[in-house]
Structure 1
């Protein structure tokens, strides 16, 4: 009888110790909380490039020739299209344009009693552009191919008339600044030197066909 009592007492003590230990362990764990996964990291925001993309625009300006004979000068107007890439602050791309022009001049030579008239009827360029952008301001250099149509007329005392019409290829080089004043719009000011070399006319006169231009333009950039 005593032995059974001892076994029962030992079993009760063991159960009491076990219950107390489990309660203490549960108390250490604290109240039950369901698992909540951590929030996904937010994607880093990348601001859209001000300059990258295709664009189209219009331009107009003033040109003057290096010819010391007829000294042509006058206005022109046309359009351009191009594409830019932007990497950090550097912007590079290409641009093509075509302009109708009236860059003309007239001269009289009293020794030959000759009157000469020359005119640039139109010109076009295809150029690369490389620039540095600071926010909405872009400063760039540009160079490439130029093509222009020249028309020259020399009249000797009304007795003989020589007319030369020639489309020549040369080079264009210059630079400019462009300002993005709205998300899709920018305006620019640009200088170009267009080199075509000397030309000997059928009348015997030699003239220089190089000319220079300054112009302003308005561009619309597609998204």
Structure 2
């Protein structure tokens, strides 16, 4: 699965770069070029939504919750030449869950607050990201349910492309580690660690 994620990111990034070069070579309309390559491109606030898929494992338990993920993100970018720095926060609802023997673990929601640093090439931005993660881990066994909200960390990479004035599309991979906490009903210290690949759209104000 890890090779698939990195391969998908590489293919998408290459496709976006090729598209940008093709537009230059074959004479895209000047108005489109100017909007995509304006000096303040990528700078300022933005708001958007995303969809993706998460898969992972629970510490000290054989369950491996996975499922679809969807949510919203907001952020702000600063640009200095080809370098772009920013901060982004998101909140996600997830269907990630798994059952093994008497235990069921699920991750109903999570969020992140991250820094972003990247390099802008024409209308494509390549970036790395990392910061704080937090979310709920829920355990159920024999009709009893126990939930903990844990904090942890996240790291990832991605690419984003401006496809129209004020609009961009992105794809990114995040690794999220929600730290362990002691669950009474399992008698163990459990936490959730997972990978996430998602695509999204942003509107830049």
- Aligned with 1:105 (options 82, 98, 108): 98
Residue 149 (structure 2) pairs with residue 167 (structure 1): yes
* Alpha-carbon distance, 1:154 to partner: 1.8
Question: Normalized against structure 2, the TM-score is what?
Answer: 0.76
* Alpha-carbon distance, 1:178 to partner: 0.4
Report how many aligned residue pairs link the two structures: 166
Calculate the aligned-residue CA RMSD, in Å: 1.6
Per-residue CA deviations over 1:60-115 (Å, capped at 9, x if unaligned) read 1000122361110001111011011111110001001101111100101xxxxxx1
Per-residue CA deviations over 1:155-177 (Å, capped at 9, x if unaligned) read 2xxxxx54220111111111100
Residue 64 (structure 2) pairs with residue 71 (structure 1): yes
- Aligned with 2:106 (options 119, 122, 125): 119
Per-residue CA deviations over 1:151-204 (Å, capped at 9, x if unaligned) read 11122xxxxx54220111111111100011112110000111111233442132
Please identify runs of 4+ aligned residues in structure 1 that moved more than 4 A: none
Per-residue CA deviations over 1:94-148 (Å, capped at 9, x if unaligned) read 001101111100101xxxxxx1101101111110000001010110000111110
Give the aligned partner of residue 115 of structure 2.
128
- Aligned with 1:48 (options 22, 39, 42): 39
**Structure 1 58/136 Cα, relative in aligned 2: closer, same or farther at 3 Å?**
same
* Alpha-carbon distance, 1:205 to partner: 4.0
* Distance in structure 1 (CA, Å) of the matches to 2:128 and 2:38: 26
Give the aligned partner of residue 211 of structure 1.
194
**Structure 1 185/198 Cα, relative in aligned 2: closer, same or farther at 3 Å?**
same
The structure with the larger Rg is 1
Question: Normalized against structure 1, the TM-score is what?
Answer: 0.70
Partner SS state of residue 51, structure 1: coil
Structure 2, unpaired ranges of 5+? 1-36
Higher relative contact order, chain-length normalized (CA < 8 Å, sep 6+)? 2
Give the aligned partner of residue 198 of structure 1.
180
Per-residue CA deviations over 1:25-79 (Å, capped at 9, x if unaligned) read xxxxxxxxxxxxxxxxxxxxx9432211110000010001223611100011110
The answer (yes or no) to whether the contact 1:105–1:119 under 8 Å persists in 2 is: yes
Compare the two structures and name the one with the higher strand fraction. Answer: 2
- Aligned with 2:51 (options 57, 60, 63): 60
